[in-house]
């Protein structure tokens, strides 16, 4: 049973905002739903990373976006590398088709830095805006810490984009604690504040709790954006069923093979037990564990390839795990997460 709201979109934003939680993005003036919608799956099968997902029809993409909005999600995360801009295009097309005002939702996208220098941040920003049909980029993130340019040079370029009104806020992704701190200081020198670091974080990968990223973000007042919060669907529990076999790129992932599935079964059992008690789904329990972390500074961006998944993901925002249940999940996940492949 999914505890999703039943409010529908009827040509205007109809969201009962007072019923829905919002977390502040870093120290900015932007308030986001704890669960956003990741849109890697909108890549239309294009590019190397886009081939992970099947091609989705424009009608289906629009329905997924609409369902997310109707259930309280108010922001979307995309990236240049997702289909070479196809995900950005698909998202903008869906929002336009639904008649969503440009400032009614927030869009986060990411610049791909590999084999590029900081000047490409500015040279490619018009391409990003074109792909998004001129929708505002509320959060612009450096996707990886692998640019030819130094972090201070990249932050200087980010500052110029903010000053020019081409983006509203800057963030990073996959940065270590040291890199994140350096980026924060560099951007601060130009009068702006780094607001987020997007990293992999879920019950089976809790490395940011040990490597300094989580504590550094707390010290700096930055948000953590957790990508792959369901471990590519592993935490839904469906792949632990004998009759469900991984398809596509998942067949190459050791996490979807019998040895790892057996090792993680105790966590899946606990997720099912809690889901039954809260009358939600295992996926919602796993997402709720992320977004109810103390401090309300961790957001999650699960994807959705079906309309029902968008509603299910959003339903994770409508209740809270008890402190004792959070601790129980902490303990069992720590036991199985130590050797995450």
Report the alpha-carbon distance of residue 26 to residue 293 in Å, rounded: 15
- DSSP assigned state of 338: T
HSE-CB for 130 with a 13 A CA cutoff: 7
HSE-CB for 269 with a 13 A CA cutoff: 8
Question: What value does the CA radius of gyration of the chain take, rounded to a whole number of Å?
Answer: 19
Residue 82 appears among annotated catalytic residues: yes
Which of 23, 82, 140, 278 is catalytic? The answer is 82
Report the alpha-carbon distance of residue 84 to residue 300 in Å, rounded: 23
- Closest by CA to 136, choosing from 114, 155, 109, 163, is 109
**Could you tell me whether strands 23-24 and 298-300 are parallel, antiparallel, or unpaired per DSSP bridges?**
unpaired
E-strand ranges in the chain read 23-24, 31-32, 37-38, 75-77, 106-111, 139-142, 169-173, 194-200, 223-227, 298-300
223 pairs with which residues across the strands? 196
Q: How distant is the alpha carbon of residue 70 from its chain centre?
A: 18
Catalytic residues: 82
């Amino acid at each position: 049973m999914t505890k999703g709201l039943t409010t529908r979109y009827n040509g205007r934003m109809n969201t009962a905002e007072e019923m829905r939680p919002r977390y502040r993005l870093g120290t900015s003036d932007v308030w986001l739903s704890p669960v956003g919608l990741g849109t890697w799956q909108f890549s239309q099968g294009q590019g190397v990373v886009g081939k992970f997902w099947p091609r989705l029809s424009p009608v289906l993409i629009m329905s997924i976006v609409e369902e997310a909005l109707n259930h309280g999600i108010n922001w979307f995360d995309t990236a240049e590398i997702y289909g070479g801009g196809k995900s950005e295009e698909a998202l903008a097309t869906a929002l336009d088709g639904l008649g969503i005002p440009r400032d009614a939702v927030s869009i986060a996208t990411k610049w791909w830095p590999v084999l590029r220098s900081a000047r490409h941040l500015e040279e490619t920003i018009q391409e990003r805006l074109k792909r998004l049909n001129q929708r505002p980029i509320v959060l612009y993130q450096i996707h990886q810490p692998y640019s030819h340019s130094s972090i201070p040079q990249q932050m200087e370029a980010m500052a110029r984009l903010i000053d020019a009104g081409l983006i509203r806020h800057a963030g990073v992704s996959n940065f270590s604690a040291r890199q994140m701190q350096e980026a924060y200081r560099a951007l601060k020198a130009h009068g702006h504040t780094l607001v987020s670091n997007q990293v992999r974080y879920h019950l089976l990968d809790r490395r940011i709790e040990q490597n300094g990223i989580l504590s550094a973000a707390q010290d700096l007042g930055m948000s953590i954006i957790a990508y792959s919060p369901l471990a590519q669907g592993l935490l839904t529990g469906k792949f632990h069923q004998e009759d469900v076999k991984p398809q596509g790129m998942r067949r190459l992932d050791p996490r979807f093979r019998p040895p790892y599935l057996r090792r993680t079964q105790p966590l899946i059992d606990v997720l099912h037990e809690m889901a039954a008690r809260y009358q939600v789904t295992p996926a919602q329990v796993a997402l709720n564990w992320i977004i109810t972390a103390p401090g309300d500074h961790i957001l999650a961006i699960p994807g959705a390839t079906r309309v029902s998944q968008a509603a299910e993901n959003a339903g994770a925002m409508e209740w809270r795990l008890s402190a004792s249940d959070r601790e129980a999940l902490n303990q069992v996940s720590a036991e199985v997460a130590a050797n995450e492949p």
